[in-house]
């Protein structure tokens, strides 16, 4: 198995752009799709990005995902930050027999 490492927390001001990284410890990040989930306090997670860079219907295009093989990492970028984006964000990938979550990043919009 591999580990997905995320920064513990990030903060940015409303209207700005923030990027959250997710680094895979072993194996090629591009070998398996990466998903991103948003979890607001007291709520269940929701999917904001799937298959590296696809947005589910209803997710604004301010949310985007990408993969960088050179750093073996995935990124979630949120532009035009709103206070409602304040939440925990988790990346997720998998291998042949198991799912793997990153440790989560707390996004503060202040």
Partner 1 sequence: EVHLVESGGGLVQPGGSLRLSCAASGFTFSSYAMSWVRQAPGKGLEWVSSITSSGVNTYYADSVKGRFTISRDNSKNTLYLQMNSLRAEDTAVYFCANGGIVVLDVWGQGTTVTVSS
**Interacting stretch for partner 1, rule CB under 8 A, among 11-19, 37-45, 68-76, 77-85?**
37-45
Which pair of structure tokens corresponds to residue 27?
A: 């194996």
Q: Are strands 9-12 and 105-109 parallel, antiparallel or unpaired?
A: parallel
Q: Write each residue from 42 to 61 as x if it is in contact with partner 1 (CB under 8 A), else as -, in one continuous string.
A: -xxxxx--xx----x-----
Least distance in angstroms from the C-beta of 90 to partner 1: 5
**Binding positions for partner 1, rule: CB under 8 A:** 32-33, 35, 37, 39, 43-47, 50-51, 56, 88, 90, 92, 94, 97-104
């Amino acid at each position: 198995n591999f580990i997905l490492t995320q920064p513990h927390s990030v903060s940015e001001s409303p209207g700005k752009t923030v990027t959250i990284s997710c680094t895979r410890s072993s194996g090629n990040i591009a070998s398996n799709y990466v998903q991103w989930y948003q979890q607001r306090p007291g709520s269940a997670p929701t999917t904001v990005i799937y298959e590296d860079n696809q947005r589910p219907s209803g997710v604004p295009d301010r949310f985007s995902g990408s993969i960088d093989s050179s750093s073996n990492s995935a990124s979630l970028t949120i532009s035009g930050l709103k206070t409602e984006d304040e939440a925990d964000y988790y990346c997720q990938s998998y291998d042949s027999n198991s799912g793997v979550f990153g440790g989560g990043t707390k996004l503060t919009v202040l």
